[in-house]
Amino acid sequence: MKNLSMLLPIGLTWIFLHLAAIPQQKPSELELVLKKMDAVAETFRSAQADFEWDRYEKVIDEVDDYQTGTIYYRRSAKNIEMMADIKNEGTSLDQMQSQPKYVLFNGSKIQVYQPKIDQLTVYDLGKNSADFESYLVLGFGGSGQDLVKSFDVTCAGRENVQGVDAAKLQLVPKSDRVRNNIKQIFLWIDPDKGVSVQQQFFEPQGNYRLAKYSQIKLNQKIKDDVFRLKTTGKTQVVSPRG
């Protein structure tokens, strides 16, 4: 027993030395990006960015809807608000016209105000509110941990987008119900800021929406007026059903 007690410290020392000699595995690109998104989500209060949105229709094999403007996000407690100030719209970049439109999300409703016709369309999301909000914060205040809960996430390398060497993430919804509407999503994440500079949503039919973001500002003060719709006393309110 005496000899055995003398050997134990020697054996433990050998084990520790052996483990120390094993090279530590470096975090993968995906792990680094998700960790950065987690850190940004913890301190996220607001975001502002210029956007360019377009929609591709597979049936006609072309992009037929372009929109440009500025988008705003603001988080207070556990709630998030979003206002999209759409300034121009057209069937092509060469045919863009001034078409002011405001899209506001705050809670369980999406409100779309069109000043030219003075009409407010209100969509009640009901039980789908949480789902909509989860997609709203993809790449803008959403954490990496939440991302992997809802999607199978892989890293598809790096691409230069908007002058940023962005990490391209492929997201496949884990939910069969979600996949009936969205087949897959690509996010291009700025590895320094931890937010997306580009997003692409693919539908099962092959249609997709592409969003490009630039002039991104994080955690700066945004005036309360930004999240208010400037309706009038004569505004017509429409509430689609179904």
Domain contains 6 = no
Question: Quick one: pLDDT at residue 17?
Answer: 52
Residue 161's CATH number: 2.50.20.10
Question: Quick one: pLDDT at residue 7?
Answer: 46
Domain contains 115 = yes
- The model's confidence at residue 210, banded by pLDDT at 50, 70 and 90, is very high
List of residues 6+ apart from 122 with CB closer than 8 A: 109, 110, 111, 112, 237, 238, 239
Domain contains 13 = no
Pick from 23-32, 84-93, 179-188: least confident: 23-32
Q: Token pair for residue 83?
A: 């206002």
Pick from 3-7, 94-98, 230-234: least confident: 3-7
Q: Which domain holds residue 95?
A: 28-238
Kindly report, residue by residue over 107-136, the tens digit of the pLDDT: 889 999 999 999 999 999 887 787 788 888
List of residues 6+ apart from 166 with CB closer than 8 A: 158, 159, 160, 188, 189, 190, 191, 197, 198
Nearest to 85 by CA among 64, 67, 61: 67
Q: Is 144 exposed, middle or buried (0-12, 13-18, 19+ CB in 10 A)?
A: buried
Provide the domain count of the chain. Answer: 1
pLDDT higher than 70, residue 6: no
- pTM of the prediction? 0.84
pLDDT higher than 50, residue 8: no
